[in-house]
Structure 1
Amino acid sequence: MKLEQVFGVSRDQVATYIEREAVDNALTLALKETRQIIIYGSSKQGKTSLLHRHVPPNNRVTVHCGPTTTAEDIYRSFLRQRGVEIVTEKTSATSRDVGTSISAKFTALIPFFGEGSAETKGEVKAGSKQDEKRKAIEFNLANAQDVGELLHQVEGAGVFFHVLENFHYLTDDVQRQLAFDLRTFEEMGLRFVILGVWRERNRLVQYNGDLQDRIAEVPVEPWELPDFQRIVNVGSEILRVTFSPEVAARIFTEAHGSVAVVQELLKKVCERAGITEAVTGAKPPVVLADLAQLQSAIEDKVAEYAARHVRSLESIAAGSRARRTTEDTAALFLPYHLVRVMVHRTYNELKDGIERKTLQQLIQEKHRAPDNVRTSDVTGMLSRLAALQANQNIVPPLFDFDPGTRRVKVVDSTLYFFIDNCDPEEVMAEIPHPDPDVGDAAGGEQASA
């Protein structure tokens, strides 16, 4: 078996996937119930792998959400993937009271197997003519009940799941609409699974309190040290290598709870030792105990993560420029100061998130106009944080603001490792200050004052 099939982060499930009793059992139980399911946690912590482990491909359809995705886009995709063809007809109406209005009338053509009205659709495939009977049904694509009735008509045997990946990229309005629609789907017996990058419970309940006790939430965090040791043990047996206790302990410490960092460092250590596949033959297992090799592996990963994280942090900081000409508060350049504060924090300060009031105080300490940094300004900036990252194509996002706890949290699990091993002054020196009166040289903690 090749090294990349055993250790590392991959689109395909690696051989060192381990089941964790609390997490896997929670999902297994939720799948047997009737509630909607939410799988949440930081990025690269195993949400998708967990779902794929327990729900086979023929029992699910998936929509990958983006910042411009609407609820209608999601429903259209689900219907299309289930074999429903949607025909759109533009209609207009005029009255003396209102001007001409144009609306879309939708007709669904679904596979038809019984008696009644139907149309025959001819298709040519592989040189032969195939006739497929479809039933035409008018419906409202924006109405959850209409969509649910169509999905029911194409529902096959067994339980089927409609999966929403990257739910966190949707706008607040779309998330709120889906939170209400989920209640309708739950009553109709349709199952949905939502995967989101956030770290607190009850995210959707904040949008619709009626979902309380109607959804099953499955957090993929935290990862514990025994979990990491099991990954090492499984991979070691497959590759026929042995990681010394000192090397393993250092990797676990550096990871700060990120399974992605553990996997990547294990892979890097093997690469540094020249191991690209399982040791074969009568050779004894290779012992990996060189701390210098591990340090080199850490430096390699810091450099790799830096390429993405610095660019992402710069994009967030540059969000200040886009608003400065339209809002009085834009001249505060708060996204830049958010980045500065986060980069200069330790893991212990970041792991539970930074409360909005604390963040405001930290920004005021180094801001040129501290008295102008009001609570409403900071709250507004944090509320726009998800949209800012999505618009800048920061995938996955680095930060998330939880309006319930009023905390901004790191949600890219590799960012802890990067911040812990980088020089914050060097990072900020690479991020131009958006204020032309300060200049690019003001990136450091002291100069930005």
Structure 2
Amino acid sequence: MYQTHEVFGVSNEMVSTYIERPDVDDLFVKGLEKNKHIVIYGASKQGKTALTAKHLEEKDYIKVNCSPASTIQDLYNSIVRQLNIEIIESREVTQEVGGELKAGVKAKVKIPFFGSGEASVEGKASTKEGDKLSYKVVDYNLFLAQDLSELLRVIEFDKKIIVENFHYLTEDNQKLLAIDLRIFDDYKIQFIVLGIWREKNRLIQFNGDLVDRLIEIPVEPWEKQHLEAIVQEGMPLLNVSFENVFDTLVETCFDSVGVFQELCKESCYAAGVKQTAEETVFISIENIQQAIDIKLSDYSSRHIRCLEAFVEQKAKSSDEIPLYIPYYFIKTLFNEEFEDITNGLKRRVIQEKIKVIHHRADDVRPSDMGYFLQTLVSNQVKKSISPPIFDYDIGTSSVKIIDSTFYFFLKNCEKEEILEYIPIPLGL
């Protein structure tokens, strides 16, 4: 007997319809075997976390979660805490890195290890004779990757380190971690980095030394046969059939496995299936439409709030009317054809179309657009838009949507009605 939410849907727990894709799962397993750093990227709700959960047990890794306020030192502190390494005392220090002075923390840490006899470093040691658990105290700079690597080597650390939500770090901290990954690689310490973006070589752009030292795994695209495999896996578990509505489901989800899973779940609920049915239940078009309405309501409330936050911009002085580029970007986006949006909006096209409707068209310079696009993700993070909706792909000079639910929202919402929710900036 299965519960519907155990079979279909987006969940922190592994659902029963996880399917393996050779070009994704096999590449991940290969990366684990080669002990190379692994970067898993793609839009939100596309299976990044599920991929790691499928192939790694909790005992195999420690996980650190990034937030907009996280620094590299925060990440390293988290690793140390999870290893139950006791920090005896600490003091602030300044370290020169790449010609710049960086703040850090120098600490004495108490390291447990199993062995016989007294351990003695700097003249300090203690031993539990019963289980031969000894301790030694060493100096450790919480800022330096090399110090952390040496510490992990001393305790014979053999787990993976998963960095979740890498995209939340500031660009400076992303660059610092990319540089440090080269050091960790020398010590055979493997990182698995998860982030929401869609272009290749994000970390390699920050540190060219990572070429051949990491494996990149895009979790997209989800092809039709992959989605079909999901329903084929789930139908016998719940005793339901999607055979009459499968194509409609695929057309509606826009290649988002998260949206697809949620629509499957809500369609079952609409058909009265909350657990394995006694007799086969055939999911109808009406059930699908009910599911679409429910998910559109769920996604709309969030996305409207995010769009309101995205366009908000305060003038630096009472006499100034800002350019309000974010506001005009949203107006331009909502007037684009859906197919053009899915292909990515080119920087040049965005600027030209913004100038057509802008209140100060002559003042919209390439440098203004450049700043807006280069800070696109960081500004969303600052405004608590989580996950971010838009990203700028430098390689193709285009804006791409990285929240997979936003396509569903755009396709199904009443655009003119949504624009009415977006506040018109003061002075326009």
Output the CA distance in 1 between the equivalents of 2:321 and 2:153.
49
Output the CA distance in 1 between the equivalents of 2:282 and 2:28.
37
Q: Quick one: percent identity of the two aligned structures?
A: 39
Q: 2:100 maps to what in 1? A: none
Output the CA distance in 1 between the equivalents of 2:189 and 2:345.
38
The amino acid that maps onto 1:386 is V
Are 2:346 and 2:398, in contact at CA under 8 Å, matched by a contact in 1?
yes
Moved more, 82-91 or 104-113: 82-91
SS at match of 1:357: helix
Displacement after TM superposition at 1:121 (Å): 8.9
Are 1:82 and 1:154, in contact at CA under 8 Å, matched by a contact in 2?
no
Are 2:43 and 2:402, in contact at CA under 8 Å, matched by a contact in 1?
yes
Alpha-carbon deviations, 1:179-203, whole Å to 9, x = none? 1100010011110000000011100
Displacement after TM superposition at 1:406 (Å): 2.4
SS at match of 2:114: coil
The amino acid that maps onto 2:282 is V
Are 1:240 and 1:286, in contact at CA under 8 Å, matched by a contact in 2?
yes
Query: Cα 1:336–1:150, aligned 2, differ >3 Å: closer, same or farther?
Result: same
Are 1:35 and 1:191, in contact at CA under 8 Å, matched by a contact in 2?
yes
Displacement after TM superposition at 1:65 (Å): 0.2
Displacement after TM superposition at 1:431 (Å): 1.1
Alpha-carbon deviations, 1:330-363, whole Å to 9, x = none? 7001111222222333331122321211211121
Are 2:332 and 2:353, in contact at CA under 8 Å, matched by a contact in 1?
yes
Q: 1:307 maps to what in 2? A: 301
- Asked if 1:218 corresponds to 2:217, the answer is yes
Matches within 5 A, 1:313-332: 313-318=307-312, 320-321=313-314, 324-325=315-316, 331-332=322-323
Matches within 5 A, 1:9-408: 9-90=10-91, 104-114=105-115, 115-117=118-120, 118-120=124-126, 133-156=134-157, 159-245=158-244, 247-280=245-278, 283=279, 285-288=280-283, 290-318=284-312, 320-321=313-314, 324-325=315-316, 331-408=322-399
SS at match of 2:91: strand
Alpha-carbon deviations, 1:153-182, whole Å to 9, x = none? 2234xx420010000000010000111100
SS at match of 1:42: coil
Alpha-carbon deviations, 1:205-262, whole Å to 9, x = none? 11111111111001100000011111111111101111133x1101100111000111
Q: 2:427 aligns with which of 433, 437, 440?
A: 437
Output the CA distance in 1 between the equivalents of 2:370 and 2:92.
43
Displacement after TM superposition at 1:131 (Å): 10
Q: 2:97 maps to what in 1? A: none
Displacement after TM superposition at 1:103 (Å): 7.3
Displacement after TM superposition at 1:53 (Å): 0.6
Alpha-carbon deviations, 1:242-299, whole Å to 9, x = none? 1133x1101100111000111111111111111111013xx3x1112x3233222212
Displacement after TM superposition at 1:81 (Å): 0.6
Query: Cα 1:293–1:406, aligned 2, differ >3 Å: closer, same or farther?
Result: same
Are 1:120 and 1:131, in contact at CA under 8 Å, matched by a contact in 2?
no
SS at match of 1:139: strand
Are 1:88 and 1:104, in contact at CA under 8 Å, matched by a contact in 2?
no
Alpha-carbon deviations, 1:28-50, whole Å to 9, x = none? 11111132110111000000000
Query: Cα 1:162–1:104, aligned 2, differ >3 Å: closer, same or farther?
Result: closer
Displacement after TM superposition at 1:404 (Å): 3.3
Displacement after TM superposition at 1:142 (Å): 1.4
SS at match of 1:175: helix
What TM-score, normalized to structure 2? 0.91
Unaligned runs of 5+ in 1: 94-101, 123-128, 439-449
The amino acid that maps onto 2:256 is S
Are 1:165 and 1:194, in contact at CA under 8 Å, matched by a contact in 2?
yes
Are 2:114 and 2:133, in contact at CA under 8 Å, matched by a contact in 1?
no
Alpha-carbon deviations, 1:9-30, whole Å to 9, x = none? 1110111111111111110111
Q: 2:99 maps to what in 1? A: none
Unaligned runs of 5+ in 2: 95-102
Are 1:346 and 1:420, in contact at CA under 8 Å, matched by a contact in 2?
no
Are 1:7 and 1:15, in contact at CA under 8 Å, matched by a contact in 2?
yes
The amino acid that maps onto 1:116 is A
The RMSD of aligned alpha carbons is: 2.3
What TM-score, normalized to structure 1? 0.87
Count how many residue pairs are aligned between Structure 1 and Structure 2: 413
